[in-house]
Amino acid sequence: MKTTVRFDKAIQKLYTAFHDNTLHPECCKSCAVGNILDQNDAWKHLSDEHGSTQLNYLGQVHQNLGRRFNGYKPLELLQIEHEFLKACGYSVPLHYKNKKPKKPTSKDNLFKGLSAVVALLCQFDNIPNVMDCSKLFEFEMQHERLI
């Protein structure tokens, strides 16, 4: 399957963060977007709230200028973080009164978040979801019918 450079780099960074235990949903440098952007938290200034998909004035300026951060537009970055947090069990945007998971850095929790992010990254780049294994089961079912 042919993928894009930005997709390959993002997946590699997220894979590394997951296995090195350097992925944390509540930290702007260690979350999904923070890792995609090389542990940089400057992206947090694109919105007024962590987990929001609403660009603030600065984010809108960057979006309108066509600015990209490691290949991703400001709005795409906010969407990535939003999906990650939601799939990890947070109510978004993040707020101390909102729902959050009991164990934010458990591997199960982070895997759910990363699965949602990978699906979104695939959607952005117009490629099939690499995490979707339903085709494997369809093949097995067809194979069994022939026997």
Provide the pLDDT for residue 95.
84
Measured N-to-C along each axis, helices 107-124 and 74-87 cross at an angle, to the nearest 10 degrees, of: 150
Provide the pLDDT for residue 144.
55
| Non-local CB neighbours of 72 within 8 Å, separated by 6+ positions | 6, 10, 36, 80, 124
Provide the pLDDT for residue 96.
86
Provide the pLDDT for residue 133.
67
Backbone conformation region of residue 109, classed left if phi is above 0, alpha if psi is from -120 to 50, else beta: alpha
Distances (CA, A) of 93 to 10, 33, 52, 80, 103: 23, 15, 5, 13, 18
pLDDT in tens, 22-35: 999 999 999 999 99
pLDDT at position 146 over 60: no
pLDDT at position 15 over 90: yes
pLDDT in tens, 86-144: 999 999 988 888 899 999 899 999 999 999 999 999 999 999 887 776 666 665 555 55
Provide the pLDDT for residue 128.
85
pLDDT in tens, 36-91: 999 999 999 999 999 999 999 999 999 999 999 999 999 999 999 999 999 999 99
Provide the pLDDT for residue 132.
72
